Structure formats: C-alpha cells, structure tokens
Amino acid sequence: MPKVYSCSFCGKQVEPGSGLTYVLRNGTILHFCSSKCFKNFKLGRDPKKTPWSAYYVARK
C-alpha cells in the first residue's frame, strides 16, 4: 500500500503521486499537497496563523 502523507502546511492528505516533496538542508522531508501550500511555506508563513490550514490555531 502506498504511503499517504499529510501536507506539511495545511494538514490535508497528499495523494500518492500528487503534490510535491521538499527536502530541507537539515534532512527534514516535507510534503505539500499543492503549489499553494509550497508557496506559502516558501513565503515563511506560519500554518498556525493561516486560517485555511488544519494547523491553524484560533487566537482568543
């Protein structure tokens, strides 16, 4: 069975064969469901502050 990853930015499941994989210099492997998530990651956005991300934490 192919491994299913969750998007490192929005938390959605990444279908095997779709999305993109990004390896950091420290060896950490990140998976992104779409270029949208990858772009936001490259922009340095924090998923915890991004309302459409599953990692978003609503501020009180």
* Shortest distance in whole angstroms from residue 36 CB to Zn ion: 7
Shortest separation between residue 25's beta carbon and Zn ion, angstroms: 22
In the block, tokens 């990004």 appear at 22
CB of 42 to Zn ion, least distance (A): 13
Q: Which residue blocks in 1-60 are alpha helix, DSSP H?
A: 35-42
| Contact by Cβ (8 Å): 32, 41 | yes
Binding site for Zn ion (CB under 5 A): 7, 9-10, 12, 33, 37
List the beta bridge partners of residue 21.
Answer: 31
Which residue, 5 or 58, is less far from Zn ion as judged by CB?
5
